Structure 1
Amino acid sequence: MVIKKVSIIGLGALGILFGNQLAKKLPRTDLRIIADPGRIHRYKEAGVFCNGERCDFNYVMPQEACEPADLLIIAVKYNGLDDAIQAVKQHVGEKTIILSLLNGITSEEIIGEAYGRDKILYSVAQGMDAVKVENQLTYDHMGMICFGGNDTEKVNSLSEFFEQAEVPYEVDPGMLKRLWGKFMLNVGVNQTVAVFKGNYGVVQLDGPARTMMISAMREVIALSKKVGVRLSEEDLDYWLRVLGTLSPDGKPSMAQDVEARRFSEVELFSGTVVKLGKRYDVPTPVNEELYQRIKSAENKYTMA
């Protein structure tokens, strides 16, 4: 299978980052950004910018008839996933490969229930330090997309496509463990930086923020052993090294949300950890504290 037509839904940091790279390598009509009419109007009026460069995207509405995509990238926030699943119907065909770049450990299962687990390759985006403010995305490190699965043909096709498109990638046969590892990192970094109202720098150096972050991550390690994934201290060290490569001035998505007074993905992070902790009788006091502090901040949005 040769990947030629690509569709992306979600123009957050990851959608812009990888969409901009693919737009430079594909014919304009072969890369389709799926969005509702209101969003398309805003994107065209104000523009979408990546490191100061205006992105020349080909926008399509969900209801527009089109050929199915060879590759569909879902890059929305978790609270937009249900709507996104409905919006991409025209783009999913028998041989479509679907990548979910959402945070968390549940989106592949939800998408697979709608379109078939055989279309999904487990994937995570890691190592980028992108910051999005309104319609402007800036980054120093593009990071990479890690993916894998049992379908060798799909894995090989995607590898060849990313090679040609110059998208950094890594194939990992143990993607479920990497998915949990990225979840562990997000649980620690996203929430801690948001609570401390800082940037990556506040958790890259020793201090109260880094201590809280690592404690939150260790609660995920304990949970992973209950579900058979079995993260270890070695995995913790690996993801801390990934964190260490990021620009200290960058900010994770949740910190950007809290700063902009947008509702965050806290339910996806500490919300999930606390629920799993109760299910498996694993103490999660650090994530309980993070959850309460972030929810308390969000509750004030409606009071202002």
Structure 2
Amino acid sequence: MKVSIIGLGALGILFGNHLSKKMPKGDLRIIADKDRIKRYMEEGVFCNGESCEFQYLTPEDPCEPADLILFAVKFNGLDDAIRAVKHHIGENTVILSALNGISSEAIIGESFGMDKVLYCVAQGMDAVKVGNQLTYDHMGMLCFGDREPGVISSKTRRVAEFFEKMEVPFEIDPNMQRRQWGKFMLNVGVNQTVAVYQGNYSEIQKEGQARDTMIAAMREVIQLSEKEGIHLVEEDLNYWLDVLSTLSPTGKPSMAQDMEAKRMSEVDLFSGAVLGLGQKHGVSTPVNKELYEKIKTMENKFS
């Protein structure tokens, strides 16, 4: 298998570093522009203190098509990433998107065809990236599957067989839309709450105001899922709270890391999307409205 990864944030480094130890070096390609590659080569990229040995390709470099492409960029970098992977797309290429939110697969599918895209959720990792250093206690896993509920296609089986050989933790889910909405619900709660309270996972793993805020924000997503035909229930909320309980208390979600680094966050992907759906369906979402406003106020101080 030829594998290409676009995006060397937390997930790109985490899974890239793992695969680099299992695959021939030439079979794993990290796609980045010339300036980024120069920086990676000069400063290095580190995972749990270990230097990552990656092969880098610019978007212009000719190459064999990838059997598997992993999108691991932030949402605001998705359009550029789609343009950057064009040389890596072949007839049998399968695409996984590890982006947050519930819209990246459709956007990627518009460019390359939905037949190449499997739905994917990255969950259970507690990776923290500071500069060129990534640290984590729990690698988590990639959950993936087909768009249609109940279908397990040959593409899904092919990726599963590869991940088994590479010892990548994974799970096939025959209802990926529900899984994505569940992860969306978790992100809406945990990412935004930890960012606003300026803490870490311990802040929402214990009883208190922060955890109550997080759960209230998640319940607003449950209400909206009913209107969208996904039908999340309290059992789904409890499943994701159990996932949350396994994470290192000192870890932080990506939005909290963005706030600390004074970077613009993905708030429009979380409470921004919730507010839009609330407006669409006439559902009040006051907790997400408050989180949205607080995060936007924090971001306004960056400029």
Give the TM bin, normalised by the shorter chain: over 0.9
SS of aligned partner of 1:125: strand
Specify the SS of the correspondent of 1:121: strand
Q: Secondary structure at the match of 1:123?
A: strand
Q: How much has 1:121 moved relative to structure 2?
A: 0.5
Partners in 2 of 1:151 and 1:238 — Cα distance? 23
1:98 aligns with 2:95: yes
Matches within 5 A, 1:19-98: 19-98=16-95
Q: Equivalent pairs: percent with the same residue?
A: 68
- Matches of 1:275 and 1:159 in 2, distance apart? 35
Question: What's the CA shift for 1:27?
Answer: 0.5
Cα-to-partner distance string for 1:68-126 (whole Å, 9 max, x where unaligned): 10000000000000000000000011110000000000000000001000001101000
Q: Is residue 13 of structure 2 the alignment partner of residue 12 of structure 1?
A: no
Q: Which amino acid aligns with 1:12?
A: G
Distance (Å, rounded) in 2 between the aligned partners of 1:291 and 1:118 = 35
How far does residue 293 in structure 1 lie from its aligned partner after superposition? 0.3
Q: How far apart in 2 are the matches of 1:117 and 1:282?
A: 31
Q: Deviations over 1:203-251 (max 9, x none)?
A: 0000000000000000000011101000000000000000000000000
SS of aligned partner of 1:201: helix
Q: How does 1:206-217 map to 2 (within 5 A)?
A: 206-217=207-218
- 8 Å Cα contact 2:217-2:288 kept in structure 1: yes
Which amino acid counterpart does residue 139 of structure 2 have in structure 1?
Answer: M
Using the TM superposition, give the Cα deviation of residue 151 of structure 1 relative to its aligned residue in structure 2, in angstroms: 5.4
Which residue does the alignment assign to 2:153? 152
Q: Answer yes or no: is 1:264 the counterpart of 2:291.
A: no
- Structure 2 matches for 1:278-289, cutoff 5 A? 278-289=279-290
What's the TM-score, normalizing by structure 1? 0.98
What CA distance in whole angstroms lies between the structure 1 residues aligned with 2:125 and 2:302? 29
Over residues 163-190 of structure 1, what are the superposed CA-to-partner deviations in whole Å (9 max), with x where a residue is unaligned?
A: 1111000001011100000000000000
Give SS of 2:15's match.
Answer: helix
Q: Which letter maps to 1:86?
A: R
Distance in 2 (CA, whole Å) between partners of 1:152 and 1:107 is 20
CA distance in 2, matches of 1:87, 1:43: 17
* Deviating 4+ runs (over 4 angstroms): none
Give the distance between the partners of 1:216 and 1:230, measured in 2 at CA. Answer: 16
Q: Secondary structure at the match of 2:220?
A: helix
Residue 286 of structure 1 and its aligned partner are, at CA, apart by 0.5
Question: Any conservation in 1 of the 2:152–2:174 contact (CA below 8 Å)?
Answer: no
- Give the distance between the partners of 2:88 and 2:285, measured in 1 at CA: 40
Counterparts of 1:246 and 1:67 in 2: how far apart (Å)? 38
Q: Please give the root-mean-square deviation of Cα atoms over the aligned residues, in Å.
A: 0.6
Q: What is the CA–CA distance in structure 1 between the aligned matches of 2:138 and 2:198, rounded to whole Å?
A: 22
In structure 1, runs of 5+ residues without a counterpart are none
Aligned twin of 1:218: 219
| 2:247 paired with 1:246 | yes
Aligned residue pairs total 299
Q: Secondary structure at the match of 1:132?
A: strand
Once the two structures are superposed, residues 1-40 of structure 1 have per-residue CA deviations (whole angstroms, 9 ceiling, x without a partner) of xxx1000000000000000000001100100000000000
Question: Match of 2:295?
Answer: 294
Deviation, 1:152, is: 1.6
Q: Secondary structure at the match of 1:114?
A: helix
Residue of structure 1 in register with 2:181 after alignment:
180
Deviation at 1:66, TM superposition (A): 0.8
1:155-174 matched pairs, under 5 angstroms: 155-174=156-175
2:283 aligned counterpart, secondary structure: coil
